[in-house]
Amino acid sequence: MANFDTHLIHKGDGQFAKALNKTASVAETLPIYLSSAFAFDDVQSVDDIYENRANGYIYSRAANPNIDAVSEILAAIENGAGALVFGSGMAAITTTILSLVKSGDNILASRLLYGGTYDFFAHELPKFGVTVTFADIENGGIDEYIKENTKLVYTETIANPLMSVPNIRKIAENTHKHGLLLLIDNTFASPVIAKPLDLGADIVLHSATKYLGGHSDILLGAAVAKTGELAKQIRRTEGIYGGVASPQDAWLLARSLRTLSLRVKKHSQNALKVAEFLEGHGKIEKVFYSGLSSSPSHENAVSQFEPNLFGGMISANIKGGAAEKFIGKVELFPFLPSLAGTSTTLSYSVKTSHRYYEKEKREELGITDEQVRFSIGLEDADDIIAEFESALKDL
């Protein structure tokens, strides 16, 4: 062979990677496998891979080296038996739930949830004949809400946006007493602060878009299961619904995870200082942060979190209906509907993450027009405080 256009197609193709496998050194970091499919030596090989007689990849919706590599990290840091990576946090949540329920089943969920999860539970699952009971389960009392058809219990380690911390150990104990599964969204805490599987949960979910990614440049999700069997069940459903991650994003996530401890500790240390500053400020009505001893969640946080780490997320009510004005006065930090990047950012839950909660429901929970949500970044704490002090002064 060897004419011009054929060279363009076949020189340096996947066979080059095969030759690399036989060299005496290895890349220090894992290369990105941007390949939708994998080529076999012969028909026998494809049969061996499908029948688990040989290791090998087939098609990247089913499995890809970069996704497997990042799964290995996630399973290890959450103390799970297996992890799955998805194209977004919502893909992780919806696919995992759909892998566990069928028509006629019921879910018991915390009344305080990320807005997208609430939307899925309240407005999508009923279309499939799955009902969801929303209840105050923070203190672990779930017995009165369990029905004959309840299959699982769902909550968040640090609930958005009021930063309340449920008693996971007690919820887990009661969930298992009924023979049900406990799923926990650990996005706001990250495994640096809390490991829900160690506290008794069966599956941990993440929007890896947030602290795991940490640089505001990827959209990814993850599910980590306590048992290999559960991981396998979720993996099968993921392959069918197809909400998988791109290998390039998975690679970026693996890169970001190398600094997870350093980042989350600094986010958390800065947030504690900012929360203390806000609590002492005359124009602030109320601060929601479990690191403050005044917080109703302080005891649960101290007993379940790593020492002195309470996360980088704070909410605060600004006095005199000045929340919107305050957001406008902050110049250094962007106002946007996400969190957990390197920069401090502000969000306004009633207009963003909790937009689709009915207004009466929001107010009943305490998610109000006065409330600003802070994602505290990696800047110098003194500079973050100075910026807020100056914005509050002008109100």
3 state DSSP class of 75: helix
Kindly tell me which of 117 and 281 has the beta carbon lying closer to ligand PLP. 117
Closest approach of ligand PLP to the CB of residue 44, in Å: 41
Kindly tell me which of 166 and 221 has the beta carbon lying closer to ligand PLP. 221
- CA gap 157, 194 in Å, rounded: 8
Question: Which run of H or of E encompasses 264?
Answer: helix 260-279
Interface positions, 157-176, toward ligand PLP (CB under 6 A): 160
State the number of binding residues for ligand PLP (CB under 6 A): 16
Kindly tell me which of 220 and 225 has the beta carbon lying closer to ligand PLP. 220
Kindly tell me which of 90 and 376 has the beta carbon lying closer to ligand PLP. 90
Kindly tell me which of 96 and 150 has the beta carbon lying closer to ligand PLP. 96
- Cα 108–351–113 angle (5° rounding)? 15
Closest approach of ligand PLP to the CB of residue 92, in Å: 8
Question: Which run of H or of E encompasses 376?
Answer: none
Closest approach of ligand PLP to the CB of residue 223, in Å: 12
Q: Are 196 and 157 in contact (CB under 8 A)?
A: yes
Closest approach of ligand PLP to the CB of residue 209, in Å: 4
Could you say which of 209, 297, 344, 349 contacts ligand PLP (CB under 6 A)? 209
| Chain centre to alpha carbon of residue 203 | 12
Interface positions, 33-52, toward ligand PLP (CB under 6 A): none
Q: Is 221 in the site for ligand PLP (CB under 6 A)?
A: yes
Closest approach of ligand PLP to the CB of residue 339, in Å: 6
Interface positions, 97-156, toward ligand PLP (CB under 6 A): 114, 116-117, 156
Q: Is 95 in the site for ligand PLP (CB under 6 A)?
A: no
Residue nearest to ligand PLP (CB): 89
**75-94 mask for ligand PLP (x: CB under 6 A)?**
-------------xxx----
Question: Which run of H or of E encompasses 345?
Answer: strand 345-347
Distances (CA, A) of 241 to 120, 205, 216: 16, 17, 26
**181-200 mask for ligand PLP (x: CB under 6 A)?**
----x-xx------------
- CA gap 38, 46 in Å, rounded: 10
Distances (CA, A) of 167 to 77, 103, 287, 294, 305: 21, 30, 20, 17, 11
> Which residue type does 51 have?
E
Token couple for 6? 């054929």
Kindly tell me which of 156 and 370 has the beta carbon lying closer to ligand PLP. 156
Closest approach of ligand PLP to the CB of residue 220, in Å: 7
Token couple for 276? 């203390």
Distances (CA, A) of 366 to 104, 108, 111, 312, 371: 32, 21, 12, 20, 9
Residues 6+ apart with CB under 8 A from 141: 174
Could you say which of 219, 253, 260, 392 contacts ligand PLP (CB under 6 A)? 219
How many other CB atoms are found less than 10 A from the CB of residue 55? 7
- Residues forming the site for ligand PLP (CB under 6 A): 88-90, 114, 116-117, 156, 160, 185, 187-188, 207, 209-210, 219, 221
